[in-house]
Structure 1
């Protein structure tokens, strides 16, 4: 358990949520949405995503209050509700998805610099990879000095990075042209019906909401357990408002097709089109601060998930060791080795940022589904509802909607990302086998074998599809 000096306040926990959510995604929203739909489709997409993720946030809040003994709740809930192997898969999926998300941050930073220094290209040139690698290890050694120091830096950075986003919103409100907004309303010359347009935005909305569980993951550091749930809701409401405005306002200052053709980060390109070159510089600086802050928050979260999983015997015990500064050092080392390898792999990708964005979303959906399902189980059984029993029906409905939403999102993402997820899940099971043998326990029970065989079949199909070009990166 962390010492008192390392405990986090409600504001620091909220900053972990905001720091995790406001990263690469929000700066890429204008082009990403304009490629898929117009304002009408965007409104529908945000209504679906906002409702679904709000329900998921409420499940996190409820479980944080009713199951306070479960630290790093994202995967602990899966283990409690469905068994050891599903708990491991949830922990592994969330961890590896977060590592992939961290890679997307470096890609976007270098792509941003590429607008001013061509040597960085779209973020996956040799020079970009070398510079990103230096950054990975600078952050690594800073975090090793202490979690509380990193949390303080994250709080400061969180405030700093909100400023350029607010300036962007205010300027676009004053530049708002209703005739342009109406012309873009149905997507202009886009093909496909409104359902297809909305579906094309779904994985992006998942990506920008990832981080909603930041306070829950770091719950063992909370000064007050109730602050975990409050921080989750506070962070969700604030960031959602920002993301909707960043998505919708560009439709009122530029043609949809023009926004869709911009390079990432498209928020910088939009502001440049409205106010001139200084707008691109201003937003680009804000993006670099924002993404570095998000990277810091997610490096903390990645290590914490591995550490907590090792403490509950879901991962090998080597990852449960802390250094003198109470940082899970071995977990941090493995996390950053994986991030380093993935950064190198971006050299072979045609659109590294889009790939990392979508794959992060796909890997995160399984852990989210387990959380929603466990929330449903707890409320249906009436566990812990001796206190405030009147909340049981409400919580049951909320968990049901959250579960339906995550299932819909998994299918909306498409078969490609389900197979790519299997390619990661199946070999990742080696860590589970290691942990079980370490404890002298039977590796799989019958239901676990079924899950493992399905994962292996999916991985084999995915590898074959990659090898034959049926799936491209």
Structure 2
């Protein structure tokens, strides 16, 4: 049986968790997704907005880790502390659901990567064969994780190193073949691309920037395992800076190697196609191998995070007690079982999706926005009240500004996502509230306060509109 001491993570290991959970599937799809939306000019503006917003969010996570060291498993615990039980539940459920959808996206990406070499069998990642392979993979990982979290985090560290290497090689290759005149031609839009306003171009890149930054709270989720509480904030900032640099390079450099219309047309994972345009077939093969290693590693990290969120929520009585159970290897087994059953059902549902790839990516991004918004809001609250700032009152003003910027950024992301995705997330939230009723009944606690009842009613109405849209075909996926 594992002991508490073997469970403690160093700053390096926590940073590895942040980098490991951020450098997953999204970074390998940046060139095509950005090229189909905008040229380098719009991309630079998009990264300035996303980078600033997510940096502010990272600073909120850092401040909360320092000022509220008694709150473990960050994301939803902050929402509960700031906005009550039901918002805490919605944050936990939304974060867990988004993590599940992200895991589905990983398997779709594995299928589409294999589809580059076996198009008849795997297609775009949602063929029958791709779904069967995904299900085998999901349950293989499931039983490996049940054997112990330390084993899984060791593998994550190895995989994190292994997947950074192809990205570095790709960036070097793009720099070597950099063509300034090609970059200049693409800069404001490129030849042969549909013209749209700069605002529309930037808006169309916003959801993928949210997706690639998911995992920024990786260290916060594992805060109860940290050797030192201060390491949680440091790991968050270190991971953020390193990964942002990689993502900006992977987005902008391909514009200097081929016409934008060609980059926009490559198959997913688009980094493989973009590198093939620049250096030939070996580039696509190398990136495809990197994608498979990266995605399997990120899937491992997110499976752990999914189970950890459910487990922590059950321990704080925001979810039913059944999910607080651990097996003899200290793995939250029931939480892991529910997670992988839900992931399997979503994977099967991709068979009927017109564009499973981008649909799952966008849904994952939107479900993460509510937890992020509530974390930013809690950052504003404690800075205004001065909670935790008794010894450092000079930091209150700065932290409040950071938190307000993070709030505005996440609200802007909801607008950029569009009503369709907000309604679809509500469709999933309504049945999820059954878990909240279950947990409240276990404690003989009041189910809703008057304000929470209004929030629940709004969620039900939005869910009903979303369901109607799906049944009538006005909302498609």
Deviations 1:177-229 (A, max 9, x none): 11111110111233211011000111110000000000000111111111111
Partners in 2 of 1:60 and 1:455 — Cα distance? 27
Instruction: Name the structure 1 match of 2:82.
Output: 81
Instruction: Name the structure 2 match of 1:137.
Output: 139
Instruction: Name the structure 2 match of 1:187.
Output: 189
Q: 2:377 aligns with which of 373, 380, 385?
A: 373
Q: Are residue 322 (structure 1) and residue 323 (structure 2) matched?
A: no
SS of alignment partner, residue 49 of structure 1:
helix
Q: Do 1:2 and 1:220's aligned partners in 2 also have CA atoms closer than 8 Å?
A: no
Q: Are residue 359 (structure 1) and residue 360 (structure 2) matched?
A: no
Q: 1:456 aligns with which of 451, 456, 460?
A: 460
Instruction: Name the structure 2 match of 1:415.
Output: 419
Deviations 1:290-336 (A, max 9, x none): 00010000000000000000001000000001111111110001000
Instruction: Name the structure 1 match of 2:337.
Output: 333
Instruction: Name the structure 1 match of 2:43.
Output: 42
Instruction: Name the structure 2 match of 1:425.
Output: 429
Instruction: Name the structure 1 match of 2:149.
Output: 147
Q: 1:229 aligns with which of 229, 233, 236?
A: 233
Partners in 1 of 2:416 and 2:283 — Cα distance? 35
Residue 230 (structure 1) shift: 0.5
Instruction: Name the structure 2 match of 1:303.
Output: 307
Q: Do 1:160 and 1:289's aligned partners in 2 also have CA atoms closer than 8 Å?
A: yes
Q: 1:294 aligns with which of 292, 298, 302?
A: 298
Residue 233 (structure 1) shift: 0.4
Residue 2 (structure 1) shift: 6.4
Q: Are residue 21 (structure 1) and residue 22 (structure 2) matched?
A: yes
After superposing on structure 2, the runs of 4+ consecutive aligned residues of structure 1 that deviate more than 6 Å are none
1:163-182 aligned at under 5 Å gives the runs 163-182=165-184
* Change in CA separation of 1:448 and 1:127 when aligned onto 2, cut-off 3 Å: same
Partners in 2 of 1:167 and 1:121 — Cα distance? 27
Q: 1:161 aligns with which of 146, 160, 163?
A: 163
Q: Are residue 125 (structure 1) and residue 127 (structure 2) matched?
A: yes
SS of alignment partner, residue 211 of structure 1:
coil
Deviations 1:371-411 (A, max 9, x none): 00000000000011112111111101100100110011011
Which segment is superposed worse, 55-64 or 387-396? Answer: 387-396
Partners in 2 of 1:41 and 1:348 — Cα distance? 33
Partners in 2 of 1:445 and 1:402 — Cα distance? 27
TM-score, structure 2 normalization: 0.98
Residue 359 (structure 1) shift: 0.3
Q: Are residue 343 (structure 1) and residue 342 (structure 2) matched?
A: no
Instruction: Name the structure 2 match of 1:100.
Output: 101
Instruction: Name the structure 2 match of 1:59.
Output: 60
SS of alignment partner, residue 246 of structure 1:
helix
Q: Are residue 276 (structure 1) and residue 280 (structure 2) matched?
A: yes
Q: Do 1:37 and 1:190's aligned partners in 2 also have CA atoms closer than 8 Å?
A: no
Partners in 1 of 2:450 and 2:38 — Cα distance? 45
Residue 232 (structure 1) shift: 0.4
Q: Are residue 70 (structure 1) and residue 71 (structure 2) matched?
A: yes
Instruction: Name the structure 1 match of 2:210.
Output: 206
Partners in 2 of 1:86 and 1:250 — Cα distance? 42
Q: Are residue 385 (structure 1) and residue 405 (structure 2) matched?
A: no
Q: Do 1:203 and 1:358's aligned partners in 2 also have CA atoms closer than 8 Å?
A: yes
Partners in 2 of 1:442 and 1:56 — Cα distance? 32
1:245-284 aligned at under 5 Å gives the runs 245-284=249-288
RMSD: 0.9
Q: Are residue 31 (structure 1) and residue 32 (structure 2) matched?
A: yes
Residue 127 (structure 1) shift: 0.4
Which segment is superposed worse, 144-153 or 44-53? Answer: 144-153
Partners in 2 of 1:187 and 1:352 — Cα distance? 27
Partners in 2 of 1:55 and 1:26 — Cα distance? 21
Instruction: Name the structure 1 match of 2:401.
Output: 397
Count residues in correspondence.
473
Q: Do 1:320 and 1:328's aligned partners in 2 also have CA atoms closer than 8 Å?
A: yes
Partners in 2 of 1:102 and 1:327 — Cα distance? 19
Gaps of at least 5 residues in structure 2 are none
Deviations 1:139-167 (A, max 9, x none): 11111111111111101100000000000
Instruction: Name the structure 2 match of 1:470.
Output: 474
Partners in 1 of 2:234 and 2:111 — Cα distance? 35
Residue 9 (structure 1) shift: 1.0
* Change in CA separation of 1:368 and 1:2 when aligned onto 2, cut-off 3 Å: farther
Residue 445 (structure 1) shift: 1.4
Q: Do 1:65 and 1:225's aligned partners in 2 also have CA atoms closer than 8 Å?
A: yes
Partners in 2 of 1:114 and 1:397 — Cα distance? 47
SS of alignment partner, residue 166 of structure 1:
helix
Which segment is superposed worse, 380-389 or 46-55? Answer: 380-389
Partners in 1 of 2:83 and 2:273 — Cα distance? 47
TM-score, structure 1 normalization: 0.99
